[in-house]
C-alpha cells in the first residue's frame, strides 16, 4: 500500500512510520522536522519531504492522488501554545487540516484523521459534583465515541481552542461522509507515552507534555511541579499498544473502520498527575539512581503561574474502548509502571550508551537526557 503520512516525524508519526515500513508499505512522509525519523531516511520505501504545509511548495493534490491512504497527524499538541498562540493553534489544527481532508474528498482517498481525547472536555462531575450521589463513579468519566457529549470551558478559558478546532474538524469530516460518501476514520488518542514522546523543556517552544517535565525534573533535580495540586486524572497508553491498534485501523478488515471514530487508550492505567509524579520518582530512585543525587521535591503551582491566564483542563477522562475491542480485536497490554520504566529508560540509557561508544566518558546522565532528541551525527 502507498501511504501518505502528514506529520510523519512527530512522536506518533515516527513510530507509525517505522511500523509501516517494517510491514512492506511504501511511505511518503511530510514534516518540518526529521530528528525522530533519521533511521528511516535511507530506506528504499520511504520518501521524506521536509515541508511546512502552511507554506507554498507542497503539491498536496499530487501527493494525495498518488496515495492509497492518507494519514493526517499534523497538529499543535502542546498545552503552552494553546495559551500563547491560540489563533495559530486554530489555523493549523482546523484550517490547514481541512485542506488535507478536502484533498482526500476530491481524489476519493480514505483518510485516517488523528483528533484528540480533549474533544470530550470535562466530566459532568466538574459542573454537577454537589448534585451527584457518588462523584467518583467511573461512569461519569468514561467517554464513548458515539454517545458521549462534549463539555468545554467558557470563552475566557481559551485553552479549549485546541479541542474546539479538533472537534470542528471532526464534524466537517463527518458531514463530508454524509453528503459525499467520504470514507474516513477518526482516531482519538488518550495520553500516549513512549520513547520520542517530546523534546525536553529546554529544547522546545511552549510547554510539552507532563512526562517530559517530570523526566527533566528527575534528571536535573528541579522541582516536579503539580498544576493546581495535580488532582486531574489520566489513562496512559504505551505507544506500542497504540501503534498496534492503528495498524488494525489501517488494515480495516471488511471495512469495519469506514466512517468510524475510535478511542485508543488504556482504561486500567488511570492515575492522578500527583500519582504519576510520585510513581516516576519511585521508579527513578529504584532503576536509575545516581550516587549522591537528591530526588526532586514535588511542589504545587497555580495554572496561571505555570501556563498563563486562560488555562483550564479536563478533570478526568477514561476511554471506552469497547468498539476497538469488538471491531478490531484489540486489547492494550502495557501496565502503567512498565510503560513508564520503558520510556524513562529510553531517555536515561540509550543515548548514554551511544556517547560512551564514542569514548565520551565525561558525559553525565543529565547531559544525555537533554541531548536525547537531537540529531545524532
Q: Is the pLDDT of residue 167 over 50?
A: yes
Query: For residue 63, what pLDDT is reported?
Result: 98
How far does CA 298 lie from the centroid of its chain?
25
| Phi-psi map region of 266: left, alpha, beta (phi>0 left; psi -120 to 50 alpha) | beta
Residue 375 has pLDDT above 50, yes or no: no
Residue with cell 550516587: 291
Q: What integer pLDDT is reported at residue 169 of this predicted model?
A: 98
Distance of alpha carbon 358 from alpha carbon 361, whole angstroms = 9
Separation CA 130–CA 109 (nearest Å) = 49
Domains and CATH numbers, the chain: 75-371 (3.40.50.720)
Residue 371's pLDDT is 45
* DSSP symbols for 161-228: HHHHHHHHHHHHHHHHHHHH---EEEEEE--EE-TT----GGGSSS---HHHHHHHHHHH---EEEEG
Q: How far is Cα 112 from Cα 31, in angstroms, rounded to an integer? A: 17
Among 65-69, 171-175, 200-204, 327-331, which is the least confidently predicted range? 200-204
- pLDDT (mean) for 270-292: 94
What's residue 293's pLDDT?
84
Q: At 58, is the secondary structure helix, strand, or coil?
A: coil
- Three-class SS state of 270: strand
State the pLDDT confidence band at 130, using cuts at 50, 70 and 90: confident
**Residue where the block lists cell 530506506:** 43
Give tens-digit pLDDT for 149-161: 999 999 999 999 9
Residue 358 reports pLDDT greater than 80: no
DSSP 274-296: HHHHHHHHHHHHHHS--TTPPPP
- Report whether pLDDT(281) > 70: yes
Mark whether 162 is an active-site residue. yes
Q: HSE on the CB side for 247, CA within 13 Å?
A: 20
| pLDDT above 50 for 108 | yes
Write the pLDDT tens digit of every residue in 5-46: 999 999 999 999 999 999 999 999 999 999 999 999 999 999
Is the confidence at residue 199, as pLDDT, over 80? no
| Res. 366: pLDDT tops 50 | no
**Residues 49-98 pLDDT 10s:** 999 999 998 999 999 999 999 999 999 988 888 999 999 999 999 999 99
Q: What is the per-residue pLDDT for 350?
A: 61
Buried/exposed code over 284-314 (b: 16+ C-beta within 10 A; e: otherwise): beeebeeeebeebebeeeebeebbeebbbbb
Res 352 pLDDT > 80 = no
Mean pLDDT, residues 222-247: 96
Phi, psi of 340 (to 5 degrees): -70, -45
Please name the residue that has the C-alpha cell 521536509.
Answer: 50
Closest CA to 172 of 71, 180, 55, 258: 180
Q: How far is CA 236 from CA 96, 125, 329, in A?
A: 28, 21, 20
Range 246-272 average pLDDT: 98
Note the pLDDT of residue 198.
Answer: 76
pLDDT for 298-325, tens place per residue? 999 999 998 889 999 999 999 999 999 9
Q: What is the pLDDT of residue 259?
A: 98
Under the banding of pLDDT at 50, 70 and 90, the label for residue 131 is confident
- Cα angle 339-340-344, degrees, rounded to a multiple of 5: 120
Please spell the DSSP secondary structure of 225-268, one letter per residue.
Answer: EEEGGG--EEE-EEHHHHHHHHHHHHH-GGGTTTTEEEEE--GG
Q: Given the residues 162, 176, 347, 351, select the one marked as catalytic.
A: 162
Q: 239 pLDDT exceeds 60?
A: yes
Amino acid at each position: 500500500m502507498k501511504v501518505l503520512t502528514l506529520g510523519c516525524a512527530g512522536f506518533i508519526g515516527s513510530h507509525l512510520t517505522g511500523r509501516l515500513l517494517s510491514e512492506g508499505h511504501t511511505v511518503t512522509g511530510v514534516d518540518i522536522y526529521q530528528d525522530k525519523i533519521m533511521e528511516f531516511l535511507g530506506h528504499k520505501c520511504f520518501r521524506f519531504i521536509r515541508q511546512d504545509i502552511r507554506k507554498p511548495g507542497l503539491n498536496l493534490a499530487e501527493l494525495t492522488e498518488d496515495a492509497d491512504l492518507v494519514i493526517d497527524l499534523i497538529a499543535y499538541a502542546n498545552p503552552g501554545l494553546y495559551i500563547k498562540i491560540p489563533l495559530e493553534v486554530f489555523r493549523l489544527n482546523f484550517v490547514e487540516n481541512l485542506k488535507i481532508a478536502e484533498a482526500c474528498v476530491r481524489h476519493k482517498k480514505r483518510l485516517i484523521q488523528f483528533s484528540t481525547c480533549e474533544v470530550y472536555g470535562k466530566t459532568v462531575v466538574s459542573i454537577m459534583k454537589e448534585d451527584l450521589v457518588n462523584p467518583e463513579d467511573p461512569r461519569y468519566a468514561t467517554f464513548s465515541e458515539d454517545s458521549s457529549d462534549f463539555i468545554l470551558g467558557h470563552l475566557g478559558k481559551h485553552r479549549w481552542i485546541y479541542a474546539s478546532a479538533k472537534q470542528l474538524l471532526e464534524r466537517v469530516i463527518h458531514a463530508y461522509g454524509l453528503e459525499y460518501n467520504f470514507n474516513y476514520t477518526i482516531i482519538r488518542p488518550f495520553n500516549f507515552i513512549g520513547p520520542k514522546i517530546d523534546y525536553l523543556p529546554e529544547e522546545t517552544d511552549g510547554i510539552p507534555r507532563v512526562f517530559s517535565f517530570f523526566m527533566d525534573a528527575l534528571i536535573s533535580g528541579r522541582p516536579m511541579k503539580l498544576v493546581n495540586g495535580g488532582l486531574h486524572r489520566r489513562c496512559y497508553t504505551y505507544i506500542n499498544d497504540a501503534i498496534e491498534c492503528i495498524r488494525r485501523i489501517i488494515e480495516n478488515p471488511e471495512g469495519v473502520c469506514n466512517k468510524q471514530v475510535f478511542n485508543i487508550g488504556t482504561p486500567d492505567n488511570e492515575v492522578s498527575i500527583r500519582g504519576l509524579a510520585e510513581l516516576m520518582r519511585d521508579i527513578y530512585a529504584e532503576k536509575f539512581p545516581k550516587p549522591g543525587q537528591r530526588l526532586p521535591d514535588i511542589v504545587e503551582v497555580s495554572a496561571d503561574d505555570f501556563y498563563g491566564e486562560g488555562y483550564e483542563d479536563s478533570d478526568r477522562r477514561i476511554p471506552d474502548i469497547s468498539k476497538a475491542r469488538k471491531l478490531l480485536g484489540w486489547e492494550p497490554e502495557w501496565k502503567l509502571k512498565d510503560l513508564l520504566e520503558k520510556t524513562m529508560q529510553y531517555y536515561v540509557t540509550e543515548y548514554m550508551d551511544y556517547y560512551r561508544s564514542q569514548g565520551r566518558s565525561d558525559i553525565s546522565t543529565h547531559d544525555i537526557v537533554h541531548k536525547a532528541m537531537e540529531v545524532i551525527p
